[in-house]
Amino acid sequence: MSMPGQHTPHKVVVIGGGYAGTLAANHLRMRADVDITLVNPRPEFVDRIRLHQFVAGTGEATVDYGTLLGEGIQLVVGSVRRIDTTARTVRLASGRALDYDYVVYAVGSTAAIPSSVPGAAQFAVSIAELESAQRLRARLEELPPDAPVTVVGGGLTGVETAAELAEQGRRVTLVCGRTLAPSLSAPGRRSVAKWLSRHGVTVLETAVVSEVRPEGVVFADGAVRASALTVWAAGFGVPGLAAASGLRTDALGRLLTDETLTSVDDDRIVAAGDAAAPSGQPLRMSCQAAAPLGAQAANTVLSRIAGTEPAVIDLALTGSCVSLGRRAALRQLARKDDTAVNVYVNGRIGAAYKELTCKLGVWKIRREARKPGSLLWPKGGPRPEQPAAATRVVTSP
Domains of the chain (ranges plus CATH)? 10-109+238-315+360-391 (3.50.50.60), 120-232 (3.50.50.60)
Tell me: pLDDT of 317 over 90. Answer: no
Using CB atoms within 10 A of its CB, is residue 137 exposed (0-12), middle (13-18) or buried (19+)? Answer: middle
Q: Angle at which helices 347-370 and 287-306 pack, to 10 degrees?
A: 20
What does the buried/exposed string (b/e) look like for 28-42 if buried means 16 or more CB atoms within 10 Å of the residue's CB?
bbebeebbbbbbbbe
pTM: 0.91
Mean pLDDT on 25-39: 97
User: Tell me, what's the pLDDT at 4?
Assistant: 47
Tell me: pLDDT of 35 over 60. Answer: yes
User: Tell me, what's the pLDDT at 377?
Assistant: 65
User: Tell me, what's the pLDDT at 147?
Assistant: 98
Query: Reduced to 3 states, what is the DSSP secondary structure of residue 74?
Result: strand
List phi, psi (to 5°) of 153: 125, 115
Mean pLDDT on 103-119: 95
User: Tell me, what's the pLDDT at 318?
Assistant: 85
User: Tell me, what's the pLDDT at 315?
Assistant: 84
**Per-residue pLDDT tens for 144-193?**
999 999 999 999 999 999 999 999 999 999 999 999 999 999 999 999 99
Higher pLDDT, 337 or 80: 80
Tell me: pLDDT of 58 over 60. Answer: yes
Closest Cα to residue 301, out of 22, 68, 25? 25
**Per-residue pLDDT tens for 344-396?**
999 999 999 999 999 999 999 999 999 999 876 655 433 333 322 222 222 22
User: Tell me, what's the pLDDT at 394?
Assistant: 26
User: Tell me, what's the pLDDT at 5?
Assistant: 47
Q: Amino acid identity, residue 338?
A: D
User: Tell me, what's the pLDDT at 389?
Assistant: 28
Closest Cα to residue 243, out of 204, 277, 210? 277
Q: Please give the full DSSP string across 85-132, using - where no structure is assigned.
A: TTTTEEEETTS-EEE-SEEEE----EE---TTSTTHHHHEEESSSHHH
Tell me: pLDDT of 2 over 80. Answer: no
What does the buried/exposed string (b/e) look like for 97-108 if buried means 16 or more CB atoms within 10 Å of the residue's CB?
ebebbbbbbbbb
Mean pLDDT on 300-328: 94
Tell me: pLDDT of 308 over 90. Answer: yes
